[in-house]
Structure 1
């Protein structure tokens, strides 16, 4: 962390003029239990105050609120025979990533203790939660109304709002972030002054104000609008989209094209989709004696599935990002993180996203369908092309979707036919209709005189418990998914 930023932070905290519920000054008091109680109280009070961080500063004269210097050295300080920081980490629950830093301030040595605000639960010290009221630190349970307020304000960790780049100047923000793309994609006019630009980016939580007229770029701002993700730390840079095209039907065939993306998702999305569609093999289609070429996979399906991979990945998994692999007969789209919705219910259940801010902004920018209407349109496009059904599966702690190229009913495997039958039943149900033999014939491109083929598929799907008769008293009324 920047030494100058620490000096600016000390000066800004001193400018408060006095201690607050999330800020405490000390001179040399390093009694371990006192520090522990204060950590719990300040972490909880900071969340109540709407702050993401609380602070304790040593080396401050409380009466004059000025730097007086301290002899406290957190690296050598002991607590009950252990290193202070190690002992403190054992006593605080849930574990919070607090940090001691020694600062050579021009007016004298200062020690800063960063205390992250409570997130998932009240922070306790030796199993007791505390709160700060004025300069007092009573037990939180003695103030039930504050306890209830804190519970209501607690929220799970939000990756999007964490900091990707700290303490950068306004000029650096405008270099690192493709701000013009933000205004273009959200269909807003570009402000004619810097203040207007920064107000909008800040309101969107793409950036947040730091100390001394500096800014922090959030993970949301970087992952969506970075001009170059490699300018951020490696954990974020590795979340760039990776595209690999193989010369055959497996990875042994050799790589024909490979691109490791560098742009933020929003900045590079349209270019990525256009590139992929240009790279995809074409399928010859004859209609009314005219010979035309169509993409091997529906463009809508490709677009929606890639957007879903970006949105639903587990951002907390380091060293991994979305990957798109194209083979001669299929496309595999993989994103890190186990799916939050069972694979067999992804078409109909409302999506659950780990990254709500990312998802909402991408939808506003038109990069994917409105919530809950994406995968059903993917399946509908696949049916229109009469392709084998896509495969949704969990693969080694990651989510993978496989789109297959054209194959006739006879060329599909028995499992693919059954899965296509289930998908078709889901689509019909979501449209207020029921699957029938005739509709499944149309889906597979089978002439009605050969309906016995689809009757066999429906029977097998029924036996596997994937579909059921819509009305047992009227078996010819059609079929619905098992969960309907």
Structure 2
């Protein structure tokens, strides 16, 4: 890639630096160690550009840089140190010499490190990646969990027996198809089921959302939401321990209503009338449950969403 003066000026005009673009003044020199860290962080963020010889604050004046007077040699050293190739381009801008480092993206499912640290951008800083971020990257190279099979060798009857097909159409406010073929065709188009050897495979997505009973799917039984209610303000005595075994979409509204019914209330008096008022609104329960469902690590077996009151 050939970087033009016009391209550099376009980059200079962006509102702020982001994960894929970094400016450094570096009038006389730039620390090798810092350079390696920035390259690793930018690669881990999907690749980008590091420009030396430009102030990092708007209007980002081009001041020129005398760093790395042999870009070819520096590129070779970077490859030896980092294990991936960074192209270094020298551009003679009217404001001075600019070095453009073209940093490639990390491969899918892989993360780069420098001296044992898996780096990423966080505002103006370079920080180690969190465990959640690392797990998400490593999972990129794995098959999509939701498309994997939860139940194989199902005929038409068994699909309808295991999945609450009526709820799907009710939730979307759609009329129920006049025949079973229409139901199965719709579920297939949504990747809830897949054709297999003249029959059907129910995907993890289909089972997690629309299972009548999650325990009918061996690998998903432990994904059922668990609600535990304790007496008092500690966990010494359990008053209720209940599993909600319906698929998440099928059982969501009922689960929210059940939990909200357990929420403590305060008694208030308004205009001489006494009434019970819940300590927090139903929408808070709804958001809590939805976030717990969505943000769990589905690839981990033997774990479930647990709601404790």
> Which TM class, normalised by the smaller chain length?
0.5 to 0.7
Aligned counterpart, 1:171:
157
How is 1:236-385 mapped onto 2 (pairs within 5 angstroms)? 236-252=220-236, 254-326=237-309
Root-mean-square deviation (CA, aligned residues, Å) is: 2.0
Give the corresponding residue for 1:181: 167
What is the rounded CA distance, in whole Å, between the counterparts of 1:258 and 1:202 in structure 2?
A: 36
Q: Are the structure 2 counterparts of residues 203 and 155 from structure 1 closer, same or farther at C-alpha, using a change threshold of 3 Å?
A: farther
Cα offset, 1:120, TM superposition: 4.8
Matched with 1:194 is 180
Corresponding residue number in structure 2 for 1:421: none
- 1:269 Cα deviation (Å)? 1.1
Task: Report the equivalent of 1:157.
Answer: 143
User: Does the CA-based 8 Å contact 1:229-1:240 persist in structure 2?
Assistant: yes
Name the structure, 1 or 2, with higher relative contact order (CA <8 Å, separation 6+). 2
- Asked whether the equivalents of residues 164 and 216 of structure 1 are also in contact (C-alpha less than 8 Å), the reply is yes
Query: Is this contact kept in 2: 1:120–1:156, CA < 8 A?
Result: no
Q: Where does structure 2 lack aligned partners over 5 or more consecutive residues?
A: 1-106, 111-139
* Alpha-carbon spacing, 1:285–1:156, altered in 2? closer, same or farther (3 Å): farther
Measure the CA separation in 2 of the matches of 1:227 and 1:174: 10
Matches within 5 A, 1:63-212: 120=108, 157-211=143-197
- Give the CA deviation at 1:290: 3.0
Distance in 2 between residues matched to 1:210 and 1:187, nearest whole Å: 29
Q: Deviations along 1:149-185, whole A, 9 cap, x unmatched?
A: xxxxx97532111111111111110100010011111
- TM-aligned CA deviation for residue 310 of structure 1: 0.4
Trace 1:225-240 onto structure 2 (pairs within 5 A): 225-233=210-218, 235-240=219-224
CA distance in 1, matches of 2:148, 2:163: 16
Partners of 1:279 and 1:121 lie apart in 2 by: 43
State the shift of 1:287 in Å: 3.1
Contact 1:178 1:225 (C-alpha < 8 Å) held by counterparts: yes
Q: Distance in 1 between matches of 2:286 and 2:141?
A: 32
Query: Quick one: distance in 1 between partners of 2:306 and 2:291?
Result: 12
Paired with 1:183 and 1:325, the residues of 2 have a C-alpha distance of 32
Partner SS state of residue 286, structure 2: helix
Tell me: CA distance 1:287–1:227, structure 2 relative to 1, closer, same or farther (3 Å): same
* Counterpart Cα distance in 2 of 1:312 and 1:165: 24
Distance 1:121 1:256, change over 3 A: closer
Using the size of structure 2 for normalisation, the TM-score is 0.54
Q: Do the aligned residues in 2 keep the contact of 1:167 with 1:215 (CA within 8 Å)? A: yes
Question: What secondary structure, in the 3-state scheme, does the structure 2 residue paired with 1:238 have?
Answer: helix
Q: State the SS of the aligned residue for 1:251.
A: coil
* Displaced runs of 4 or more, over 4 A: 119-122
What whole-Å deviation, never above 9, does each CA across 1:64-120 have from its counterpart, x for those lacking one?
xxxxxxxxxxxxxxxxxxxxxxxxxxxxxxxxxxxxxxxxxxxxxxxxxxxxxxx95
Contact 1:206–1:218 under 8 Å retained in 2: yes
Query: Which range moved further: 293-302 or 201-210?
Result: 293-302
Quote how far apart the aligned CAs of 1:278 are: 1.6
Aligned counterparts of 1:315 and 1:262: Cα–Cα separation in 2: 16
- Which consecutive unaligned segments of at least 5 residues does structure 1 have? 1-118, 123-153, 327-484
- The alpha-carbon deviation at position 192 of structure 1 amounts to 0.6
Aligned counterparts, 1:398-413, within 5 A: none
Q: 1:164, 1:120 → 2: CA distance?
A: 26
Secondary structure of 1:302 counterpart: helix
Partner of 2:223: helix, strand, or coil? coil
